[in-house]
Amino acid sequence: MSDSALNIWQRALTELQSLVDPESFATWFSSTKCQSFDNRRLIVSVPTSSCQRWLLANYIDEIMAALRKFTDDEVKLELRVETENQQLQMELYPPEPPPVQVASPMGPPRGRAASDIEFPETPLNPGYTFDNFVAGPNNNFAHSAALAVAEPGARSYNPLFIYGGTGLGKTHLMQAIAHRYVTNHPNHRAIYVTSDQFFNSFIDARMRNRYGEFRAHYRNADLLLVDDIHFLVGKEGTQIEFFHTFNHLHQYGRQIVISSDSSPKDLPALMERLRSRFEWGLTVDIEPPDLEMRMAILKKKSEQFELATDSDVLLYVAERIQTNIRELEGMLLRLKAYGRLHNNRHIDLATAKRVLGCQMVGQVVARVNIDSILQVVCEYFDVKVGEIIGACRMKKFAFPRHVAQYLCREVGRLSLPEIGVRFGGKDHSTVLHACRKIEQLVQTDSNIQNLVAYLTKKIRETP
């Protein structure tokens, strides 16, 4: 490798270090290595394919801008994975994607866009319908709004933004809208997709220079439902693309429905212009169900699952799982499987305790003690509690601190202000930013995903 190649990349990294926050730079840039620079092609190796995709989706514009400062040539950058037979080339000036064809002033043509590449869409769960949704005080507003946008000619709430904690029924409502919309509009096109699938299809289109097909696919929808929009935090390139998709659909009166774990105003890491558009329509939340609501859900689900059991069994489950409807369903399915394996045996309370007891550990209360979370995290990272609740920004302490704050929110069900107070009086926005960082890593790094799962298990096992 020539000295000039190494020098160009080192100078580019120095420039990038001044633009990117220290933790992100250490995570995504510190392991990159320059391999060669020949015939205007700069080859840089990256450790994993996830790093390769992340750099392309979030930092390619900054990287190319930095390279332009230190070379007069039109550089072509190739990111090459060290341990895999994969490579990804990104030109300095990629071809301009063809525009989406518009058939008339009324909007783009109906029907599925012709496409040479596959775009992932989540199949609708046949059980996620309005008929199977249990409405109550915690979700009545969201349920009514969802019904309204699924009806013919509904454009009052566009977009409809549904937010709430994990497992409270957001995905159920989203798919119920899709089911009802398709029934009411048999000739119209509905797309239900997770934000992660939108991100992956955008990256695939970018890698293969298929912008036109990607844009036509999403912009020709009559109804677009995007689940878990909060996972676009940190993916700036994808946010920009979704921004333009949103504008196009909204301009032609196409319905947009979005879900998130937080309200738009609590997603500060999203582009401001994107967050503001989320607030154009109607924002509704789903709160955790109370005991009576959980009992109603369990009763309806037990009938749906044809599970023969007693009301004291339902109460046993409802008292121990207080914030996650998906977990309530999971417990019933476990009981159903046990009964089926034992000749459709009737499930009494003693049997339920024996079958579910090991999974109920630590769930008798909704929230885990924050001291238990700190204890587990500190033991794993070999640091002291005072070091991670303090203000030291060294990575040795900052990363465990962020993990602990994330676990306090996800496992402990603590509010952002409560976490902030325990971690040295930090502002809730600072805590939210830390949680978002770990949330992004959980989605992109299997090691971090496994770490969080391990710590969660340890926390729930801690007396």
According to the model, what pLDDT value does residue 224 have?
Answer: 93
Percent of the residues in the chain that have a pLDDT greater than 90, as a whole number: 5
pTM above 0.75, yes or no: no
Token reading at 310: 């007693």
Q: Is the pLDDT of residue 360 over 60?
A: no
Name the architecture of domain 370-461.
Answer: Orthogonal Bundle (1.10)
Is-contact 284 161, C-beta < 8 A? yes
Range from 8-12, 337-341, 432-436, 439-443 carrying the lowest mean pLDDT: 337-341
Mean pLDDT, rounded, for 350-357: 77
Task: Give SS3 for 252.
Answer: coil
> What's phi and psi for 191, nearest 5 deg?
-125, 120
- Which residues are registered as beta bridge partners of 283? 161
- Domain positions in the chain are 3-91, 140-286, 291-359, 370-461
**Helix ranges, 170-259 (H):** 170-184, 195-207, 211-219, 236-251
Residue 225 is predicted with a pLDDT of 93
Tens-place pLDDT, residues 94-128? 333 333 333 323 334 344 443 444 555 557 788 88
Instruction: Decide: 78 and 41 in contact? Cβ < 8 Å.
Output: yes
pLDDT for 162 equals 92
> From residue 27, how far is each of 13, 177, 433, 448, 457 by CA, in Å?
13, 39, 16, 12, 25
Question: From 3.40.50.300, 3.40.50.720, 3.30.70.20, 1.10.287.470, which CATH number describes the 140-286 domain?
Answer: 3.40.50.300
Indicate the class that CATH gives domain 3-91: alpha beta
Please check whether residue 386 is in contact with residue 431, taking contact to mean a CB–CB distance below 8 angstroms.
no
Closest CA to 46 of 94, 92, 11, 13: 13
Q: Which amino acid is at 6?
A: L
Residue-wise pLDDT tens digits, 123-172: 778 888 898 888 888 888 888 999 888 876 666 688 899 988 777 888 89
CB count within 10 Å of CB 109 equals: 13
Q: Is the pLDDT of residue 257 over 90?
A: yes
What pairs with residue 45 in β-bridges? 33, 80
Q: Which amino acid is at 345?
A: R
Q: What is the dihedral of CA 158, 164, 169, 172, to 10 degrees?
A: 30
CATH architecture of 291-359: Orthogonal Bundle (1.10)
How high is the pLDDT of residue 419? 85
Quick one: average pLDDT of 324-348? 77
Residue 85 confidence (pLDDT) above 70: no
CB proximity list for 80: less than 8 A, separation 6 or greater: 35, 43, 44, 45, 46, 86, 87, 88
- Tell the residue number behind the tokens 């596959």, with chain if given: 118
240: nearest Cα among 210, 293, 199: 199
Identify the DSSP state of 156.
S
Mind listing the pLDDT tens digit for each residue in 260-283?
888 887 776 677 888 888 888 888
Q: Cβ distance 438 to 448 under 8 Å?
A: yes
Of the candidate ranges 32-36, 52-56, 181-185, 385-389, the one whose mean pLDDT is the lowest:
52-56
With 0-12 CB in 10 A as exposed, 13-18 as middle and 19+ as buried, what is 445? middle
Q: Is there a cis peptide before residue 22, judged by omega within 30 degrees of 0?
A: no
- DSSP for 41-52 reads EEEEEES-HHHH
Strand partners, 76: 41, 91
Q: Element (H or E) spanning 6, and its range? A: helix 3-17
Higher-scoring residue by pLDDT: 367, 397: 397
Tokens of 367: 């929230």
Confidence of residue 73 (pLDDT cuts 50, 70, 90): low
